[in-house]
């Protein structure tokens, strides 16, 4: 899960006291109101926050624009209701509640996730975003609220062919990955001899070529592969499920150049980890999904 994030308290309080001490210090419970936003709002103009910061803008406008791409169980649409649900969706909703603002959501493809963020289409990308060097050069990652490894899923007809990750790096092996996902670059770097085909849209759709045997392997996050195998027991098998590959940070991202907004979200992320809220939501969705 990671160690607590260490931000200079004076610097942070100076930039964020106008939002009720970041809703961190005076918590009355995870599901309650964590800070007195209205009481401190009058101090906003004297807080030193840059008026061009997203932090000032969302309080002035009363809304926060959030981009997301679907990935179970972090951020997805409920098949029955069409409403949004997921671990990071719940964290974002709690943030909006404590800021006393409206949260507006915009779905984007993984290929356009960081592009839309940099263009200003939304102010934070709220899905489970893997840390990669190419992404980190163009977007600013928020304090890591979770870490997960990768697993690889195959068709049951191929299960005897693949025992460990050592079997993946072969010219006769084809991976299916989502275009623009972290797995696309990961496969190229980790298994350079293997071939790759890409799909667009939701991450789960990139498993379809494995189901139809047009590809042998589907790479995704550890929980994504496990849930995919549980839902598709007629064909899907996870290769070496007890050994996730390359555990990495996955969290939110914002644009560079906004230190007030970055400090605020870093502390919020640390609060969500330290309080156990993200861990509790993870357990809840894992249990709900079977």
**Are 38 and 19 in contact, with CB atoms under 8 Å apart?**
no
Q: E strand or H helix at 128, and its extent?
A: strand 124-130
For residues 190 and 271, membership in a common domain is answered with: no
Task: Report yes or no on 132 lying in a domain.
Answer: yes
For residues 116 and 48, membership in a common domain is answered with: yes
Give per-residue pLDDT as tens, 261-279. 999 999 999 999 999 999 9
Task: Report yes or no on 116 lying in a domain.
Answer: yes
**Are 170 and 194 in contact, with CB atoms under 8 Å apart?**
yes
For residues 141 and 254, membership in a common domain is answered with: yes
Task: Report yes or no on 256 lying in a domain.
Answer: yes
Question: What CATH number corresponds to the domain at position 104?
Answer: 3.40.190.10
pTM, whole model, 2 decimals?
0.72
Task: Report yes or no on 170 lying in a domain.
Answer: yes
For residues 123 and 191, membership in a common domain is answered with: no
The whole-number pLDDT of residue 37 equals 53
For residues 173 and 233, membership in a common domain is answered with: yes
Its domain, for residue 227, covers 148-246
For residues 110 and 206, membership in a common domain is answered with: no
pLDDT at 40 over 50: no
For residues 36 and 62, membership in a common domain is answered with: yes
The whole-number pLDDT of residue 41 equals 52
For residues 185 and 142, membership in a common domain is answered with: no
Q: pLDDT tier at 7 (50, 70, 90 boundaries)?
A: very low
pLDDT at 288 over 90: no
Task: Report yes or no on 226 lying in a domain.
Answer: yes
Give per-residue pLDDT as tens, 56-100. 999 899 999 999 999 889 999 988 898 999 999 999 999 999 999
Q: How many domains does the chain have?
A: 2
Q: Which class for 271: exposed (0-12), middle (13-18), buried (19 or more C-beta within 10 A)?
A: buried
For residues 101 and 195, membership in a common domain is answered with: no
For residues 130 and 30, membership in a common domain is answered with: yes
Q: Show the DSSP H helices in 191-276 as ranges.
A: 208-211, 222-231, 259-274
Return the exposure string of 11-31: e unless at least 16 CB atoms fall within 10 Å of the residue's CB, then b.
ebbebbbbbbbbbbeeeeeee
């Amino acid at each position: 899960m990671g160690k607590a994030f260490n931000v200079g308290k004076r610097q942070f309080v100076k930039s964020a006291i106008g939002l009720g001490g970041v809703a961190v210090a005076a918590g009355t419970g995870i599901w309650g109101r964590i800070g007195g936003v209205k009481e401190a709002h009058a101090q906003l103009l004297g807080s030193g926050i840059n008026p061009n910061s997203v932090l000032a803008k969302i309080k002035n406008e009363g809304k926060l624009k959030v981009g997301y791409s679907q990935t179970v169980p972090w951020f997805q649409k409920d098949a029955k209701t069409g409403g949004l649900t997921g671990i990071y969706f719940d964290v974002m909703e709690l943030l909006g509640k404590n800021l006393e603002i409206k949260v507006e959501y915009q779905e984007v493809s993984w290929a356009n996730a960081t592009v839309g963020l940099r263009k200003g289409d939304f102010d934070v990308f709220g899905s489970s975003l893997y840390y990669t060097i190419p992404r980190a050069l163009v977007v600013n990652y928020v304090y890591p609220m979770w870490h997960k490894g990768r697993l690889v899923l195959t068709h049951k007809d191929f299960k005897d062919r693949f025992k460990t990750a050592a079997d993946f790096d072969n010219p006769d092996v084809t991976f299916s990955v989502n275009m623009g996902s972290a797995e696309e670059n990961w496969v190229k770097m980790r298994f350079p001899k293997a071939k790759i085909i890409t799909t667009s849209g939701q991450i789960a759709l990139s498993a379809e070529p494995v189901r139809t045997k047009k590809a042998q392997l589907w790479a995704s996050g550890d929980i994504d592969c496990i849930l995919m195998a549980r839902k598709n027991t007629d064909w899907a098998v996870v290769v070496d499920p007890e050994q996730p590959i390359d555990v990495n940070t996955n969290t939110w991202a914002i644009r560079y150049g906004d230190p007030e907004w970055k400090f605020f979200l870093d502390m919020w992320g640390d609060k969500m980890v330290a309080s156990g809220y993200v861990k509790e939501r993870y357990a809840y969705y894992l249990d709900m999904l079977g």
